[in-house]
Amino acid sequence: MEPTRSSADACDDGSARGGLGLPRVIGHRGAAGSAPENTLAGFRRAAEMGVRWVELDVQLSADGVPVVFHDDRLERTTNGRGRLVETPLAALRQLDAGAWFDAAFRGQRLPTLEEALTAIAGLGMGLCLEVKADEPRGGRTARVALAQARQTWPANRPPPLVSSFARSALAAAAEAAPDWPRGLLVDSLPDDWAGEARRYGCTSLHTRAGELRATLVQAIKGAGLAVLAYTVDDPGLAETLWGYGVDAVFSDRPERLLPIAEGHTGNL
Q: Which residues bind ligand G3P (CB under 6 A)?
A: 28, 55, 57, 70, 130, 163, 185, 206, 230, 250
Smallest gap, in angstroms, from Cβ of residue 243 to ligand G3P?
21
Smallest gap, in angstroms, from Cβ of residue 252 to ligand G3P?
9
- 70 catalytic? Reply is yes
List all residues 6 or more positions away from 227 whose beta carbon is below 8 Å from its beta carbon: 204, 205, 207, 212, 217, 220, 221, 245, 246, 247
d(CA 97, CA 86): 17
From 14, 23, 24, 28, the catalytic residue: 28
d(CA 253, CA 132): 22
d(CA 164, CA 77): 21
Nearer to ligand G3P, 252 or 255 (CB): 252
Inter-residue contact 26 to 252 (CB < 8 Å): no
Nearer to Mg ion, 12 or 53 (CB): 53
List all residues 6 or more positions away from 163 whose beta carbon is below 8 Å from its beta carbon: 128, 129, 130, 131, 182, 183, 184, 185, 204, 206
Tell me the residue number closest to ligand G3P, measured at CB: 230
d(CA 158, CA 39): 22
Q: Which does 200 bind (CB under 5 to 8 A by kind): Mg ion, ligand G3P, none?
A: none
- 264 catalytic? Reply is no
Interacting span for Mg ion (CB under 5 A) from 54-62, 144-152, 195-203, 209-217? 54-62
Q: Which does 9 bind (CB under 5 to 8 A by kind): Mg ion, ligand G3P, none?
A: none
Nearer to Mg ion, 6 or 33 (CB): 33
Inter-residue contact 176 to 159 (CB < 8 Å): no
Q: Which does 250 bind (CB under 5 to 8 A by kind): ligand G3P, Mg ion, none?
A: ligand G3P
Residue numbers annotated as active site: 28, 70
Residues making contact with Mg ion (CB under 5 A): 57, 130
